[in-house]
Amino acid sequence: MRFTSLAPLLLCLAIAPLARAADAPAIDNAPGPLLRDGSLPLIPAPAHVQRTQGAGFTLTASTPLSAQGDAARRVAAQFSALLARSGGPTLVPSVGKAAGGVRFVLESVTTNGRHPPGTGRHPSGTGRQPPDAPAAATATEGYTLEVGPSGISVRAATEAGLFYGAATLAQLATGGSDGHIPAVRIEDAPRFSWRGLMLDSARHFQSLDEIKQVLDAMAAHKLNTFHWHLTDDQGWRMEIKRYPKLTEVGSCRIPAGDGGRDPATGAPRPYCGFYTQQQIRDVIAYAAALHIQVIPEIDVPGHATAAIAAYPELGVLDTPLQPLSEWGVFPNLFNTEESTFTFLENVLEEVIALFPSTYVHVGGDEAVKDQWIASARVQQRMRELGASDEMQMQSHLIKRLETFLEQHDRRLIGWDEILEGGLPPQATVMSWRGTEGGLKAASEGHDVVMSPVTDMYMDYLQTSSPNEPPGRPLLTTLARTYAFEPVPATLAADKQHHILGLQANMFTEHTRSYARLQHNLFPRLAAVAETGWSPVQQRDFRDFLARLPAQLQRYRAWGLAYAQTPFEVAVAHQDDRRAGSVQVSLANPLGYEVRYRTDGQPVTAASPLYQAPLQARVPVTVHAAAFFNGQPLAAAPSVAAFTAQSLLTRRDDELLTCPGPGQLLLRLEDDGPADGPRAVFNVNIFNPCWRWTDADLTGIGTLKVRAGRIPYYFQLAHDEPQRRFEAATRAHGEMKIRRGDCSGPAMAEVALPASVGADGFVTLEATLPKQTTGKGDLCISFTGDTRPAMWVLDEVTLAR
């Protein structure tokens, strides 16, 4: 579920993308936007679109807006607000019918005796049919939208369906359409009933306003489930009145390094935050108005450090704990005493009283059993309960909580580890370690939500751009997210209805700010929304890319700080330093057209179209931008300046890791300053060694390395043996320079200092042997234990 037991993560890094179901949408080998015939600038794509006769309708500020009945009037008001927020005119709802305008109609049967299209089961638990079933007689989220020269009507059998019709209409009238909407009839309903986003508020905390902005964006994308991760090792974020120390103690931690100290006094600077029960009610009510259910997660038996810090009697060991300022997998588990089970039931009782959702998430993931194995008391308790091993002990706890939830008219859902040791028949599985757990659970008759780490984790980097914020190593591109198919091809047809849908997961170890959160979620959440809503036959990645620029325009109108990196131009180069020349290659990660200039003038849609690598003498500066229909997609052009000096320098993000066992590349943030921007480094935390491929050392006598120190803030459980470092021979270690495969004797080394400069960095200079010449891989590493702090490389420069 996180960076986790690293075994599944390392496997993900080593293998090709998981195979898709046979009916999953194909991703073109050379993706680029291509609008399909009849396609409309809508995300997600509707189930059925029929172009009709007539000139369409132009929506303006004077267009009448009418609705009858309280529910329809609520939707009309929401439509008016969303339309204005998306860059359209402000419409004033009127009472009664108005000719020549927009009408919202809530009715059980539409005109011409036709029912609005239906869908499968809603997450609240009523009714079920296969994900691609035909229209049902009673729709829960479907709608019909008709546009003609005389006006627009939106009809649905439920308020939720009418709301989604309003969201579609708001898209049709914005995103560059200038309010002109073609004559069309749309019959629409979602493929899946669970279209979710999980947000981790335990590692980094979001304000109520930020949570509500996320909910607004979810609703506009027709997502309907907000899974709220409220407890973890790093923080307990939900007020529990019966146990006040959960927030008094468990909601604060001291960040590692400079970020945990007051810059003026040096005193500890805690990172705190929790939601009161009234604030939680406020979020739930806000979400309900947007037809989003809120699913709480209280994690057991692992990810429990913050709770045990608050109430030590809940833990296995006698050692006092504090909420952690580290990331990874931790050994601290709830103990197995009856009093601890009672504590968890008491907590769930308050959770149930707050959250009206049918489901309560109990985690169940990454519970490293070492403490249970070593505890004589836990082993005795297992014998008392008839548990033959630790997995059965966890299963006993899960079954106990499942029974408690059923007694309170709730259903248990947990990560796919809850399958191990046996699962209660009514439990629902959220499959994160790939899709295999979901396939197994559905085959056994359990409901499943697919959220595999390989495709649905929004905290993984989405491009290889150096402008990506800190994040985890697997590259989860927009194309990969879009290609994910939730229903495995090998799942029997009579079990496919158990796949309730899919969910994107946003863990926040590296997401310190709301700006980063928005960057990570968008536009990938648009791809998740389309997979959850649209029929398989309507999903086409190139068509999606052609519709996406209109959605970006709406994002800008909302003030949403979506990721710029997928819309930038990636710049790669090969240089001949001695000849003073460079070959520059340009590409947009999504295949949009690229235009460029080398004369310092602004890049426009009329600038030269990039078609082949550029050959140039240095100095030269390349400006480049991606365009669609004549409009630039990124906020600013990409700029790459090449000089004789720049050819002698490489940043850490331009270097590769060193070959050999032990690879876990992370994009890590510095620990300081306490506030404001921080440096970001690419580093293999299992083997911190950097490699400049084909470095030409002819005429080079000195290597200058700008390096810094950051806390080693990871606990890796059973993956810890993969952490490697070279033993130091000096008091504070050495920087070593090697050539070739990075494993031979050092050609140069420099003693490391006891501390770095006031800015957190130091420049180290290594003198190379006089006979050094020619091209070859250049390896830079630091000796000494990576704990409690590790060296990181910021920049390396060759000097004569």
Nearest 5°: the CA angle 232, 236, 237 is 120
What local confidence, expressed as pLDDT, does residue 110 receive?
Answer: 42
Q: Mean pLDDT of residues grouped by 10 in the chain (800 residues)?
A: 40 32 40 90 97 94 95 97 97 76 82 39 39 46 97 97 98 97 97 97 98 98 98 98 98 95 94 98 98 98 98 96 94 98 98 98 97 98 97 96 97 95 90 96 97 97 95 91 97 97 97 97 98 96 98 98 98 93 97 97 98 97 98 97 96 93 90 90 93 95 97 89 91 96 95 94 96 93 95 96
pLDDT at residue number 96: 61
Strands 252-253, 235-236: pairing kind = unpaired
Task: Give the tens place of pLDDT for each residue, 278-332.
Answer: 999 999 999 999 999 999 999 999 999 999 999 999 999 999 999 999 999 999 9
| 3 state SS of 500 | strand
Is the pTM value of this prediction over 0.85?
yes
Q: Which of 239, 366, 485, 568 does the annotation list as catalytic?
A: 366
Q: Say which residues have a Cβ less than 8 Å from residue 708's Cβ, sequence separation at least 6.
A: 670, 679, 681, 756, 760, 761, 762, 791, 792, 794
Provide the residue type at 166 as one letter: A
Torsion, CA 537, CA 539, CA 545, CA 551, rounded to 10: 120
313 is catalytic: no
pLDDT value at position 660? 85
Return the structure tokens found at 455. 């495709």
d(C-alpha 339, C-alpha 334), whole Å: 11
CATH code for residues 568-644: 2.60.40
Helix-strand-coil percent breakdown of the chain, rounded to 5?
Answer: 25, 25, 45
Pick the CATH number of 48-188 from 3.10.290.10, 3.10.129.10, 1.10.260.40, 3.30.379.10: 3.30.379.10
Q: What is the per-residue pLDDT for 424?
A: 85
CATH of 6-16+199-560, one of 3.40.190.290, 3.40.50.1100, 3.20.20.80, 3.30.70.141: 3.20.20.80
Residue 255: phi and psi, rounded to 5, are -60, 155
CB count in 10 Å sphere of residue 255: 21
Counted residue by residue, the chain has a size of 800
Cβ atoms of residues 322 and 233 within 8 Å: no
pLDDT at site 425 = 85
Would you state the structure tokens that stand for residue 503, as one six-digit string? 């969910």
Question: What is the spatial distance between Cα 160 and Cα 156, in angstroms, rounded to a whole number?
Answer: 8
Domain boundaries, the chain: 6-16+199-560, 48-188, 568-644, 650-799
Q: Quick check: helix, strand or coil at residue 17?
A: coil
pLDDT at position 32 is 87
CATH of 650-799, one of 2.40.40.20, 2.40.160.10, 2.40.50.100, 2.60.120.260: 2.60.120.260
The answer to whether 302 and 365 are in contact (CB under 8 A) is yes
The secondary structure of 673-727, three-state, reads CCCCCCCEEEEECCCCEEEEEEEECCCCCEEEEEEEEEECCEEEHHHHHHCCCCC
Only one residue has tokens 């648009």, namely 526
